[in-house]
């Protein structure tokens, strides 16, 4: 009788993820019968929206796909278009773009580590409840996030939906003095990030390791942002232009988002864990040491520990921002010329949540003929389902409320940005008993 | 007085708050625009004494309804506002309350939206609501300056 009991975990409004989606897990007896993460709206709409627009509009249009990672969208769009046009950027522009990305990583990782994910580990419903008991921690988070925001604001020209990044460079580049004004804050942020690593390392993590295919950019000299080859721990090593030869998107009935898989292999993981495991030796000494002191050594295979890895990446982003400011000399011209020409260009950059692929085909007037965008969350989506299939099986004996909470926590470990993959991600959790 | 319009102009009715800010600016009234993400909002109103925030919401009320709340009180629809940001105004207010970072006066205007998909088009009911909120804010501003 008991082994015929069917139970479902349904999270119709996933709280504390960016956007909305829903999660459905069906447990029958001792097995997990079904796992569906539903995402409702693919970036297809934006791809259609881009057709017929001039390439110079693409960075600004795509940056509005997501309020949390607009820089990532701008960066992938710019690099893809620059490849299509054969535009080479000034090394100073390249450095500024890294700094710009540091700002977004600081904002996004702080938001996720402290305000969205930490409450799971500490047993609070949300950060509002957590703030009552951990006020100083939440204040630290707000200050850290604000520093990321200052970088984005300075380079982006305004608070939201930055507008200064342009094909070939920037519409306007900052002076050395302007960048130096960030140094004091960033020195504080570096210390706060190291404290973040120590703090997250002390949390309790479920014992859950999986054999992931990690996929991330790799650059010969740097921890990756905008540049490098796409590699994995299973032998993938390609130029971003070859992405579509190796990855395919499958349409699945229960979700509008497409499931991305490695051709011939299946699901894969992008984001902090993948970057860390594939690029550990490229981290600056201060971040590497913080990781080791926190007990992290590659390969980290427990997705729940991604909160600590995000903290290590915060250390990296602060250290890298300070380096960029130190080395910065303004370029002779803010942006290289980018004349219209027929071409196709692809680019991959490392959004906070993982690789973001863009491809554009341009006509002789610089108008976009086709656009393709593959956001990190849709790349992780199949992997999230695969994880939940394994993880839910470990939770069969747990009361449904706790099992549901645990599953939500697992999903949040990916920091799914559902507003990138879709607009609303509703997460609703519910469980029912069927006995006969 | 600090006026903040929240949302995303490329997400249909989610642009309502931004549209209110843009219209106010055309009338010579300073207004800020934000995504509506909670931590960002708390920073935005840091140090301000009187604040008005406008955003698109989903509360179950008919599309185009304007709902006004006193942010010093708990929002009645704190869990039901389906702002597009997941971690939005309601969370900003409650978090700021715990951290003692609420402005002395906080007026929230929620405009009930219908569509939040990519696109710049705003529902006609929401357009009308935007005008209504602009008029209300003009009254708020002139009352405050008296």
The pLDDT tens digits for A215-236 are 999 999 999 999 999 999 999 9
Half-sphere exposure of B44 (CA within 13 A, CB side): 28
Better-predicted residue by pLDDT, B56 or A161:
B56
Both A83 and A16 in a single domain? no
The ipTM of this complex is 0.86
Per-residue pLDDT reduced to its tens digit, A172-204: 999 999 999 999 999 999 999 999 999 999 999
Give the integer Cα–Cα distance in Å for A76 and A22.
Answer: 28
- In whole angstroms, what is the distance from residue A180 CA to residue A231 CA? 35
A429 falls within a domain? no
Contacts of A135 (CB under 8 A, 6+ apart): B98, B99
We report the CATH number of the domain holding residue B111 as 3.40.50.1450
Nearest CA-CA distance, residue A70 and chain B, Å: 11
Same domain, residue pair A400 and A374:
no
Whether residues A339 and A398 share a domain: the answer is no
Residues A151 and A296 in one domain: yes
Is A224 contained in some domain?
A: yes
Same domain, A373 and A276: yes
- Residues B72-80 have a mean pLDDT of 62
Residue A230 and residue A172 in one domain: yes
Of the three residues A385, A403, A429, the one that is the final residue of a domain is A385
Sheet holding A368-374, edge to edge: A343-351, A354-362, A368-374
**Closest partner CB to B117 (pick from A17, A132, A423):** A423
Q: A77 with A13, same domain?
A: no
The tally of domains found in chain A comes to: 2
- pLDDT tens for chain A, 436 residues long, are 334 456 666 665 554 444 456 777 887 777 788 888 876 455 567 888 899 999 999 998 888 777 678 899 999 999 999 999 999 999 999 999 999 999 999 999 999 999 988 998 999 988 889 999 999 999 999 999 999 999 999 998 866 667 789 999 999 999 999 999 999 999 999 999 999 999 999 999 999 999 999 999 999 999 999 999 999 999 999 999 999 999 998 877 766 667 889 999 999 999 999 999 999 999 999 999 999 999 999 999 999 999 999 999 999 999 999 999 999 999 999 999 999 999 999 999 999 999 999 999 999 999 999 999 998 988 998 999 899 889 988 888 888 778 878 888 888 888 876 554 432 334 343 444 444 3
Nearest to A149 among B40, B82, B86 (CB): B40
Does residue A308 fall inside a structural domain? yes
- Based on its alpha-carbon atoms, the radius of gyration of chain A, rounded to whole angstroms, reads 21
Query: Which pLDDT does position A154 carry in this prediction?
Result: 93
Structure confidence by residue, pLDDT tens digits, A375-421? 898 899 899 989 988 998 888 888 877 887 888 888 888 887 655 44
The whole-number pLDDT of residue B141 equals 92
Distance, CA of A244 to CA of A240 (rounded, Å) = 9
Angle made by CA atoms A255, A258, A264, in degrees to the nearest 5: 125
Sign of CA dihedral A221, A92, A147, A350: negative
Query: Three-state DSSP class for B140?
Result: helix
Q: Lowest mean pLDDT: which of A184-188, A271-275, B87-91, B98-102?
A: B87-91
The partner residue sitting opposite B95, judged by closest CB among A15, A127, A424, is A127
Predicted confidence (pLDDT) at residue B121 exceeds the cutoff of 90: no
Number of structural domains in chain B: 1
> Is there a single domain that holds both residue A30 and residue A61?
no
Task: Determine the Cα angle at A337 with ends A332 and A338, to 5°.
Answer: 145
Per the domain annotation, does A434 fall within a domain?
A: no
Look over chain B and give the mean of its residue pLDDT values, rounded to a whole number: 87
Residues of chain A in Cβ contact (below 8 Å) with chain B: 15-20, 41, 45-46, 49, 61, 64-65, 67-68, 110-111, 115-116, 126-128, 131-132, 135, 138-139, 141-142, 145-146, 149, 159-160, 418-419, 423-425
Residue A110 has a CB neighbour count (10 Å cut-off) of 30
Distance CA A63, CA A71 (A): 7
Phi, psi of A329 (to 5 degrees): -125, 130
The residue assigned the tokens 């015929």 is A4
* Whole-number Cα distances in Å, A367 to A371, B65, B146: 11, 40, 53
pLDDT attached to residue A170? 94
Which of B101, B82, B93, B67 has the alpha carbon at shortest distance from B13? B82
Q: Are residues A290 and A400 located together in one domain of the fold?
A: no
> What is the structure's pLDDT at A432?
47
Same domain, A159 and A300: yes
A77 and A14 inside one domain: no
Tell me whether residue A334 is in a domain. Answer: yes
> Is residue A431 in some structural domain?
no
Mean of pLDDT values over B2-6: 95
Q: A151 has which bridge partners?
A: none
Hey, what are B117's tokens?
Answer: 């998909």
Q: Do A61 and B95 touch (CB under 8 A)?
A: no
Contact: B98, A126; criterion CB under 8 Å: no
Contacting B residues, span 75-104, partner chain A, CB-CB under 8 Å:
82, 84-87, 91, 94-95, 98-99
Q: Report the run of H or E that residue B56 belongs to, with start and end.
A: strand B50-57
How far apart (Å, rounded) are the C-alpha atoms in residues A315 and A198?
Answer: 11
Is residue A205 included in any domain, yes or no?
A: yes
> What is the distance in angstroms between the Cα of A225 and the nearest Cα belonging to chain B?
24
For chain A, counts of helices (H) and of strands (E)? 16, 13
Q: Give the one of B34, B91, B98 whose C-beta lies nearest to A159's C-beta.
A: B34
Q: Which domain holds residue B51?
A: 2-145
Confirm or reject contact between B125 and chain A (CB < 8 A): no
Residue A68 and residue A11 share a domain: no
Q: What's the gap in Å between the CA of A424 and the closest CA on chain B?
A: 7
Distance between CA A99 and CA A320 in Å, rounded?
7
| Other CB atoms within 10 A of residue A127 CB | 27
Helix or strand holding residue A36 (H, E): strand A31-38
Q: Which of B15, B42, B46, B87 has the highest number of chain A CBs within 10 A, making it the mutation to test binding with A?
A: B87
Q: CA of A159: which chain B residue's CA is closest?
A: B34
Q: Which domain holds residue A9?
A: 2-40+389-421
In a domain, A178, yes or no: yes
Kindly report the CATH number assigned to the domain that includes residue A342.
Answer: 1.10.645.10
């Amino acid at each position: 009788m008991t082994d015929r009991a069917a139970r479902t975990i349904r999270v119709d409004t996933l709280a504390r993820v960016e956007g909305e989606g829903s999660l459905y897990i069906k447990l029958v007896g001792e097995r997990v019968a079904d796992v569906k993460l539903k995402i409702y709206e693919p970036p297809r709409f934006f791809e259609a929206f881009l057709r017929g627009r001039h390439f110079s509009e693409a960075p600004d249009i795509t940056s509005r796909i997501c309020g949390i990672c607009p820089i990532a969208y701008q960066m992938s769009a710019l690099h893809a278009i620059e490849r299509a046009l054969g535009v080479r950027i000034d090394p100073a522009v390249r450095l500024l773009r890294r700094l710009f990305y540091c700002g977004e990583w600081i904002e996004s990782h702080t938001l996720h580590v402290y305000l969205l994910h930490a409450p799971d580990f500490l047993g609070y419903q949300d950060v509002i409840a957590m703030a009552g008991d951990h006020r100083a921690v939440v204040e630290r988070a707000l200050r850290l996030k604000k520093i990321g925001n200052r970088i984005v604001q300075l380079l982006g020209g305004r608070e939201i939906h930055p507008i200064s990044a342009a094909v070939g460079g920037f519409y306007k580049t900052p002076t050395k003095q302007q960048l130096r004004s960030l140094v004091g804050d960033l020195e504080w942020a570096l210390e706060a990030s190291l404290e973040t690593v120590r703090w997250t390392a002390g949390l309790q993590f479920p014992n859950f390791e999986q054999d992931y295919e990690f996929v991330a950019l790799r650059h010969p000299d740097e921890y990756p942002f905008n540049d490098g080859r796409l590699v994995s721990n299973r032998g993938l090593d390609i130029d971003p232009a070859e992405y579509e030869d190796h990855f395919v998107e499958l349409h699945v009935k229960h979700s509008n988002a497409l499931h991305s898989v490695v051709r011939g292999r299946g699901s894969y993981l992008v984001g902090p864990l993948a970057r860390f495991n594939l690029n550990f030796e490229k981290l600056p000494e201060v971040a590497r040491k913080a990781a080791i002191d926190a007990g992290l050594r590659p390969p980290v295979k427990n997705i729940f520990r991604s909160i600590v890895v995000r903290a290590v990446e915060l250390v990296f982003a602060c250290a890298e921002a300070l380096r960029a400011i130190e080395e910065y000399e303004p370029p002779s011209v803010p942006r290289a010329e980018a004349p219209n020409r027929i071409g196709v260009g692809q680019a991959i950059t490392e959004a906070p949540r993982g690789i973001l692929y863009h491809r554009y085909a341009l006509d002789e007037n610089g108008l976009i003929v086709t656009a393709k965008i593959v956001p990190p969350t849709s790349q992780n989506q199949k992997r999230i389902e695969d994880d939940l299939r394994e993880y839910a099986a470990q939770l069969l004996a747990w009361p449904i409320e706790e099992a549901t909470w645990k599953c939500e926590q697992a999903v949040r470990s990916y920091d799914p940005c559902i507003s990138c993959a879709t607009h609303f991600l509703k997460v609703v959790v519910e469980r029912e008993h069927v006995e006969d | 007085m600090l006026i903040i319009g929240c949302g995303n102009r490329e997400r249909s009715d989610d642009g309502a708050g931004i549209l209110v800010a843009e219209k106010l600016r055309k009338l010579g009234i300073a207004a800020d625009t934000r995504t509506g993400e909670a931590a960002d909002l708390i920073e935005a109103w840091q140090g301000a004494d009187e604040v008005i925030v406008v955003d698109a919401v989903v509360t179950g009320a008919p599309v185009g309804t304007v709902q006004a709340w006193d942010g010093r009180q708990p929002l009645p629809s704190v869990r039901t506002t389906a702002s597009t940001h997941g971690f939005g105004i309601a969370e900003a207010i409650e978090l700021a309350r715990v951290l003692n970072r609420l402005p002395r006066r906080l007026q929230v205007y929620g405009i009930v939206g219908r569509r939040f998909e990519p696109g710049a088009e705003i529902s006609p009911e929401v357009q009308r609501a935007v005008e209504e909120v602009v008029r209300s804010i003009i009254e708020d501003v002139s009352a405050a300056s008296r």
